[in-house]
Amino acid sequence: MFKKLKIAQLVPPWIEVPPKKYGGTELIASYLAEDLTKKGHKVFLFASGDSKTKARLESVFPKALYYVKNTWQDDFSSMLHCLSCFERSEKFDIIHNHFNYYGILFSSFVKTPTLTTYHGDFSEIIKEKGVKYKILQKFKKHPFVSISKFQRPKDLKLNFIRNIYNGIDVKKFEFNANPENYIAWIGRITPKKGILDAIKIAKKLKINLKIAAKIDKNHLPDMEFYKNKVKPLIDGKRISYIGEIGGYKEKSEFLNKAIALVNPITWHEPFGLVMIEAMACGTPVIAYDYGSVREIIENKKTGFIVKNSDQATKVFKEIEKIKRNDCRNLVEKKFTKEKMVDNYEKAYYQLIKSYNV
């Protein structure tokens, strides 16, 4: 019988935990904090003060910084937030870092085992070979968990001690066997997420597309992209924008009524949560072959993996052959929060043991 642990979960202070709407990292951290607490561990969640948790909430900032003027992505705010965790490192058995480079850098000054889950894509960092690349080069022995096998960069040879897929609370996503006549797109409006190709696919198919998306008001390039490229294509009829959505009920109703989710990404996304959320509702996914897509979708069984909008249009004719129960079953088998939390718990014990050898 393993002893119960004192676990610090370090999350960026930008968005509250769990997120009211958009925020994959914060959702995963919330699942971990809540379920590890239920398992009897003493969990300290370092997040913004407006977060909600059964763990012990530790915060420097009373409100998520995304909503506070002039603090979004401020390095000094990040360092102060990280310091609040690492200056108390001796009180924890392990620190789980979800705050990428800040947590990695601070970990070098403490003896407490620190495990990093990087929720982004390493490929652009390798391509640019900038400061982030140099940090990763310097910390090759730092323990990482990958969230997909694809995420592991061959050029960096980082110390991945486990691969743990993200999971969701499947019971909160309502299954629907009888969809309505539209396809869905959900995410953040930015070029690499594929919103323009989603619109192109809908127009080719002459089918309604409903867009549920975050428009990042703090990121000027995305605002310009929406204003100049996306907004002119939204007619409120064939192509409709319903705004940013959040919460299980709202998200389930949006996803489970769709014939399919289109996910025409053009970047190597390490793990697309929206795909397992859609499949949990019984909704098959049509996605471009980038990143971890092949690890999430079972091609021709829970959706289709394609290369471009022409292929997406072609395979849509076969969408009714996909059994919506198969979509739900795949998520229940591979992508539950319970499976994810159990695997992280094992990773914690594994890392702590290696430090004590």
Question: Can you give the pLDDT of all 357 residues of the chain as single tens digits?
Answer: 579 999 999 999 999 999 998 889 999 999 999 999 999 999 999 999 999 999 999 999 999 998 886 665 678 899 999 999 999 999 999 999 999 999 999 999 999 999 999 998 888 888 888 999 999 999 999 999 999 999 998 888 899 999 999 999 999 999 999 999 999 999 999 999 999 999 999 999 999 999 999 998 888 899 999 999 999 999 988 999 999 998 889 999 999 999 999 999 999 999 999 999 999 999 999 999 999 999 999 999 999 999 999 999 999 999 999 999 999 999 999 999 999 999 999 999 999 999 875
**318: phi > 0 → left, psi -120 to 50 → alpha, else beta; which?**
alpha
Assigned domain for 296 exists: yes
Q: Give the pLDDT confidence score for residue 310 in this predicted structure.
A: 97
> Which helix (H) or strand (E) covers residue 186, if one does?
strand 182-188
Query: Is 289 within a domain?
Result: yes
pLDDT of residue 6: 98
Q: Contact at 8 Å (CB) between 165 and 147?
A: yes
Q: Give yes or no: residues 51 and 124 share one domain.
A: yes
**153 and 270 inside one domain:** no
Query: What does the alpha-carbon distance between residue 273 and residue 168 come to, in Å, rounded to a whole number?
Result: 8
The H helix count followed by the E strand count for the chain is: 13, 13
Whether 38 is in a domain gets the answer: yes
The SS3 call for residue 49 is: coil
Pairing mode, strands 285-288 and 94-97: unpaired
In a domain, 134, yes or no: yes
- In angstroms, rounded to a whole number, what is the distance separating the alpha carbons of residues 82 and 172? 32
Q: What is the pTM of this model?
A: 0.94
How confident is the model at residue 35, as a pLDDT? 98
Same domain, 122 and 209: no
CATH code at position 129: 3.40.50.2000
Q: Determine, yes or no, domain membership for 299.
A: yes
- The reply to whether 61 and 153 lie within a common domain is yes
Identify which of 97, 74, 79, 98 has the alpha carbon closest to the alpha carbon of residue 25.
Answer: 98
Let me know whether 17 and 110 are in one domain.
yes
Reading the block at residue 249, the tokens are 């009920």
What is the DSSP code (8-state) at residue 212? E
CA 281 to chain CA centroid, Å, is: 18
- Specify whether 220 is located in the same domain as 289: yes
Same domain, 153 and 194: no
Beta strands per DSSP E along 62-122: 94-97, 114-117
Structural domain total, the chain: 2
In this structure, are 14 and 161 located in the same domain? Answer: yes
Residues 127 and 205 in one domain: no
What does the alpha-carbon distance between residue 53 and residue 34 come to, in Å, rounded to a whole number? 7
Residue 15 shares a structural domain with residue 35: yes
Does residue 40 form part of some domain? yes
- C-alpha 94/C-alpha 214 separation (Å) is 34
Domain membership of residue 81 (yes or no) is: yes
pLDDT of residue 219: 84
Q: What count of other Cβ atoms lies within 10 Å of the Cβ of residue 349?
A: 15
Close Cβ partners of 297 (under 8 Å, ≥ 6 residues apart): 275, 279, 285, 287, 303, 304, 305
Q: Where are the alpha helices (DSSP H) in 129-265?
A: 131-138, 195-205, 220-225, 248-256
Q: Is residue 1 part of a domain?
A: no
Interatomic CA distance for residues 97 and 134, integer angstroms: 19
CA 344 to chain centre: 16
What pLDDT is stored for residue 71 in this prediction?
62
**Same domain for 177 and 160:** no
Residues 205 and 134 reside in one and the same domain = no
Domain that holds residue 235: 170-334
